[in-house]
Structure 1
């Protein structure tokens, strides 16, 4: 399975949620590749707390491979390389968890040029190889209508990946602005669906393999210090209903939702993988870990995707 994580805006929780899904897939016994396709800001190493890789690698990163064919592509065994003891010491039932980092001081592709077909070809070769080697390959795309998004669309339209299971996850925060932006990214004039059709995807099938993830959703019955009360509680309930209606009108409502994550103080202060030890030590909220577990279970549940 190949999973593309995308969003129209930065700050949606796309990368940190994708990292947590990758970790929980690994903790459940699956082998997972995590590809940092955020070429302009390759910081997945920081999320996994790998010293020296926080902003990519000095050579043989994904950008170098795609643009120049530099091989072999750098790969980092996350559990062996992480500076975080609790993540490093997880052993039982776990599968592989491998980071394919971007290039240090990386940059987005400048545009379409004569080398584009070669870049797409290298991307196809890489994704096809990883789809065979790993149970799941999570590809974290840069925000917006980037060339990374176009590259993913063109590569997955190739006959070489026709037998692969491909999922698209679109992340957005639970606000008016983010709902509109997420809808535009998918349904807009230059959005995912238009790009999918342009490069040969079947739009209906493509949409069937796309779901939304809402992040940092407030719990209506709780505030930082207890329970929302009176006018504040009524106002929040009203706004939540208005957001649900807005999402439905813009075709990103509950019927196309993979799941949501709650507001989590740990992730507001420090983007990281939430471990069971964080919950046991009462640092992270159990609702957050449960949300990541639910997203992970639904992502790999074939029946869940077939019911839509």
Structure 2
């Protein structure tokens, strides 16, 4: 990236690495686009279709073993349905099958490395020290098939507050924190209270509310009543320290091209602006 022959740098990865790339690219004024980390909020209102919200939220955090930049790892649930939601969420999480990702019956695979496995578990330990409670998971699975490889159970943390490190820092693993809220104003403030702004999800049957909330969320992509975060042709990218620039859409072409203006005179008489 420091070589003067490189005109453009596009990076997808961790936020601190993106900052380093941006600093180095500034020495030669390279154009840079960054798709970085996330701590995406997932908001479930009291009028949501509970079954859809539960299974969609389970997918939103545990697909790809939680190792996705836009994983919806901060789950905000309205206080009136919080207990019921947590009970159903844990019940569905227990049904997830860990194992070989090439097996069609597998839902959750292995962690990318031993170091990342230790990082994930250290966050769970930290959460307990901060006052959170493990509703499910929080350890390596047992059994012969899990003796090799870097495995970690899908983990549900409750009794979490938004100021805890596990609610603010990207874990990049199969760990979700579930918090309760009482009204729209409160949950918007908490959802936006993050250095990240990659994705967000909203579950409600009130479409006026959905539009009102999505407008105020500081996120590059917002899912309403569905867990799928990308679709061909829709720009994908973040706000704040989740980076800048958009991928997967026509807007991406602007990031790899330069506008050049050319003024060419084809008249027969010389141009003489001074009139001399």
Q: TM-score range by the shorter chain?
A: 0.3 to 0.5
Q: Structure 2 length normalisation: TM-score? A: 0.41
Q: Structure 1 length normalisation: TM-score? A: 0.38
Structure number with greater Rg is 2
